[in-house]
């Protein structure tokens, strides 16, 4: 009897586990399908498109494509005329946004450090710096445009000394720099929270020992804080390197969807590819450019990761 009871209990447990596993697998099925279609499928299709060239129209009116390296030849020809090429201008602007993002890392780290040290009003500043990450980007863009626009607060202050603010967003010489300044203004956000959270895990005894030894704040950052939060810091830096060729700003929100957004003076690589898709132009050429940048960025990311792992202080606490 006892053996039958144990067998019955095991069967009931197996049925319950089977139902539980079916529910879990059913819940996971939809995201797996979405990942296969919208990530693997689309990226594989982009790779195929990069090696296709439009060859004309068939008898039934359909487009005919042939296998070719012409898209890559077109792209490499762009390098011969960097001053007149829209693609090269977009790449230069992309590097400007990337450079600004790199400069934001130490600035964000410093802000997180001072908030971690609980300076007066640190709760207010924490909300202030994180606010752009939770509020609509359109709201901040509108606010920023009004601040620096004609008749705005900055313009009124300059008028007191006989000056007027120039058209920053409509002048090709200043438009990109103005948008980059906006990305810096609103760019603290998530990384600041990550750094501060990592710092909060540092044992108080370590910080107190440094204070007893008379360690100044800048040495505390270099000798104590950075080694102990290096895994978080290095991860954000690696993620930053992955955006080497797709760094961009809210160009569409600033410039609108008119003809002016095709201006090579303000566009970036990611935004230029988006515009080609939006206009329904030859998508094989942007696919080839995207594939080339991906192939270049992959070894760079792995080299940076290898370098960061080599300098990892391996602090445990």
d(CA 265, CA 172): 6
Q: How confident is residue 10, by pLDDT bands cut at 50, 70 and 90? A: low
Rg (CA), the chain: 27
- What average pLDDT does range 181-193 have in this prediction? 90
221 within 8 A of 114, measured Cβ to Cβ: no
Give the predicted TM-score (pTM) of the model: 0.86
Q: How confident is residue 316, by pLDDT bands cut at 50, 70 and 90? A: low
The pLDDT of residue 6 is above 80: no
Q: What is the pLDDT of residues 79-106, one digit of tens each?
A: 888 888 899 999 999 999 999 999 999 9
How many other C-beta atoms are found inside a 10 Å radius of the C-beta of residue 226? 15
Domain extent listing, the chain: 2-41, 72-135+170-310
Question: DSSP states of 169-187 as a string?
Answer: TTSHHHHHHHHHHHHHHT-
SS3 118: coil
**Average pLDDT value for the chain:** 86
d(CA 140, CA 254): 11
Q: What is the pLDDT of residues 267-304, one digit of tens each?
A: 999 999 988 888 777 889 999 999 999 999 999 999 99
- Please tell me the predicted confidence (pLDDT) of residue 282: 80
- Please tell me the predicted confidence (pLDDT) of residue 180: 94
At the top level of CATH, the class of 72-135+170-310 is mainly alpha
Q: What is the pLDDT of residues 104-161, one digit of tens each?
A: 999 999 999 999 999 998 889 888 888 888 888 888 899 999 988 888 888 888 888 8
Residue 282 token pair: 């030859």
- Please tell me the predicted confidence (pLDDT) of residue 232: 92
d(CA 207, CA 228): 11
Among candidate residues 78, 24, 65, 37, the one with its CA nearest the CA of residue 284: 65
Residue 144 token pair: 């920023």
SS3 100: helix
- Using a 10 angstrom Cβ sphere, with 0-12 exposed, 13-18 middle and 19 or more buried, the burial of residue 249 is buried
């Amino acid at each position: 009897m006892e053996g039958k009871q144990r067998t019955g209990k095991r069967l009931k447990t197996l049925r319950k586990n089977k139902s539980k596993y079916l529910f879990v697998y059913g819940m996971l099925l939809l995201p797996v399908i979405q990942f296969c279609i919208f990530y693997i499928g689309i990226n594989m299709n982009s790779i195929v498109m990069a090696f296709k060239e439009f060859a004309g129209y068939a008898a039934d009116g359909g487009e005919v494509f042939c296998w070719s390296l012409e898209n890559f030849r077109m792209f490499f020809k762009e390098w011969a005329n960097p001053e007149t090429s829209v693609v090269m201008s977009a790449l230069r602007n992309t590097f400007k946004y990337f450079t600004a993002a790199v400069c934001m890392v130490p600035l964000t780290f410093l802000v997180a450090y001072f908030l971690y040290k609980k300076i007066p009003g640190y709760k207010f500043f924490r909300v202030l710096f994180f606010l752009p990450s939770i509020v609509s980007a359109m709201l901040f863009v509108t606010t920023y445009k009004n601040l620096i626009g004609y008749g705005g607060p900055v313009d009124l202050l300059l008028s007191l000394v006989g000056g007027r603010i120039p058209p920053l967003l409509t002048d090709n010489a200043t438009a990109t720099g103005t948008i980059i300044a906006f990305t810096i203004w609103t760019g603290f956000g998530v990384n600041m929270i990550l750094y501060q959270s990592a710092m909060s895990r540092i044992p108080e005894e370590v910080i107190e020992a440094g204070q007893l030894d008379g360690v100044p704040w800048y040495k505390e950052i270099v000798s104590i804080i950075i080694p102990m939060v290096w895994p978080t810091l290095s991860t954000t830096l690696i993620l930053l390197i992955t955006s080497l060729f797709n760094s961009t700003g809210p160009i569409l929100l600033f410039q609108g969807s008119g003809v002016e957004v095709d201006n090579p003076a303000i566009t970036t690589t990611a935004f230029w590819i988006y515009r080609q898709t939006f206009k329904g132009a030859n998508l094989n050429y942007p696919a080839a450019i995207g594939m080339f940048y991906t192939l270049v960025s992959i070894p760079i990311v792995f080299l940076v990761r290898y370098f960061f792992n080599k300098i990892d202080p391996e602090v445990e606490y």
